[in-house]
Amino acid sequence: MVRRVKDRSRWRRFTRSTTLTKHEFVKKMREEYKKLDKVEMSVWECCELLNEVVNDSDPEFDEPQIEHLLQTAEAIWKNYLDKD
């Protein structure tokens, strides 16, 4: 069932406001976290922290996130091994 929007200008205002809200939120978070002053940790500690992230959309849900991180890093390394 497809619903038709009767008042397109109202719909445009809604989508524009939600988009701007999301954009403003991202800008705010980027500004807040780009300082990197929240916590101090090594690269490996950061990788271990990644394992706590749950990605429900991941088809290989049983695999730890760090496994994906290492596979991705290895693939990038192989692709760019001969480049400066």
Entry pTM: 0.45
pLDDT, tens digit, for every residue of 13-66? 777 777 777 888 888 889 988 888 888 999 899 888 888 877 676 666 677 888
What φ, ψ does residue 30 adopt, rounded to 5°? -60, -45
pLDDT band at 12 (very low <50, low <70, confident <90, very high): confident
**Domain residue ranges in the chain:** 1-38, 39-84
CA gap 5, 64 in Å, rounded: 44
Q: 68 CB contacts (<8 Å, ≥6 apart)?
A: 58, 60
